[in-house]
């Protein structure tokens, strides 16, 4: 699914289920960061008008997701906790060399964003299929559907603005690298952990 090389161990859902409050807080920040990523792409690459248009829409949609998760936290009588460090993202960033041309930097940021969307989508799908709480499972099903189109959008832009063969081979290398990171994850109640 989604080209990912290593599926998440379904036992991760059992860990999540023991601490729904924790996953919701972590998830809320994933949505906020997705919106922030969209905004920072606008600021860094304003001359790519088609990208800017899509990022405006995406930042709104991701903040809509943020609100959906935040509402859920409030409905549980809780408050949004502090942001958690995302070890997955820290590791993922190490794949990309610093510097390079402006186009190279754009391609890297698009592939990075696309991969996080793809993995999040895979995790949401797992939650939608395995959670005992059917209402929460349904919530994740809806999010899974929208995240799937985000991953393809980022890849589409990478292929549009970069040399297609180079982009495809970089994407494949990134998928292999990501699978290595994932071998040590799937053990905590966070969306990427």
Counting contacts by CB under 5 A, is residue 34 touching Fe ion?
A: yes
Among the residue ranges 16-24, 68-76, 91-99, 149-157, the one whose residues contact Fe ion (CB under 5 A): 149-157
- Smaller CB separation from Fe ion, 67 or 102: 67
Distance from the first to the final alpha carbon of the chain: 19
89 to 118, contacts with Fe ion by CB under 5 A?
Answer: 117
Rule CB under 5 A: choose which of 26, 54, 147, 189 binds Fe ion. 147
Rule CB under 5 A: choose which of 27, 33, 65, 108 binds Fe ion. 65
Among the residue ranges 58-66, 68-76, 125-133, 154-162, the one whose residues contact Fe ion (CB under 5 A): 58-66
- Taking a C-beta distance cutoff of 8 angstroms, is the pair 5, 178 a contact? yes
Minimum gap (Å) between residue 124 Cβ and Fe ion: 9
The dihedral formed by the CA atoms of 8, 11, 16 and 17, expressed in degrees to the nearest 10? 140
Kindly provide the b/e burial profile for residues 38-71, where b requires at least 16 CB atoms within 10 angstroms of the residue's own CB.
beebbeebeebeebeebbeebbebbbebbeebbe
Counting contacts by CB under 5 A, is residue 27 touching Fe ion?
A: no
> Total binding residues for Fe ion by CB under 5 A?
7
Counting contacts by CB under 5 A, is residue 122 touching Fe ion?
A: no
Minimum gap (Å) between residue 166 Cβ and Fe ion: 25
List all residues 6 or more positions away from 51 whose beta carbon is below 8 Å from its beta carbon.
Answer: 41, 42, 45, 157, 161
Tokens of 25: 């807080």
Rule CB under 5 A: choose which of 109, 150, 170, 192 binds Fe ion. 150
In angstroms, the CA 132 to CA 125 distance is 14
| Interface contacts to Fe ion, rule CB under 5 A | 31, 34, 62, 65, 117, 147, 150
């Amino acid at each position: 699914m989604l080209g990912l090389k290593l599926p998440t161990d379904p036992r991760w859902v059992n860990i999540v289920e023991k601490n729904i409050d924790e996953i919701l807080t972590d998830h809320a920040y994933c949505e906020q960061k997705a919106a922030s990523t969209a905004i920072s792409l606008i600021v860094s690459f304003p001359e790519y008008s088609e990208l800017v248009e899509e990022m405006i829409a995406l930042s709104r949609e991701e903040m809509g997701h943020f609100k959906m998760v935040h509402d859920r936290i409030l409905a549980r009588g809780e408050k949004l906790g502090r942001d958690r460090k995302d070890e997955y993202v820290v590791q993922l960033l190490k794949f990309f060399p610093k510097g390079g041309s402006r186009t190279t930097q754009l391609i890297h940021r698009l592939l990075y964003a696309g991969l996080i969307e793809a993995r999040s989508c895979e995790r949401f799908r797992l939650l939608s299929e395995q959670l005992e709480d059917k209402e929460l499972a349904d919530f994740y099903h809806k999010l899974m559907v929208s995240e799937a189109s985000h991953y393809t959008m980022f890849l589409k832009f990478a292929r549009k603005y970069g040399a297609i063969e180079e982009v495809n081979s970089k994407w494949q290398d990134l998928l292999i690298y990501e699978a290595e990171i994932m071998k040590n994850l799937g053990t905590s109640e966070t969306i990427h952990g």
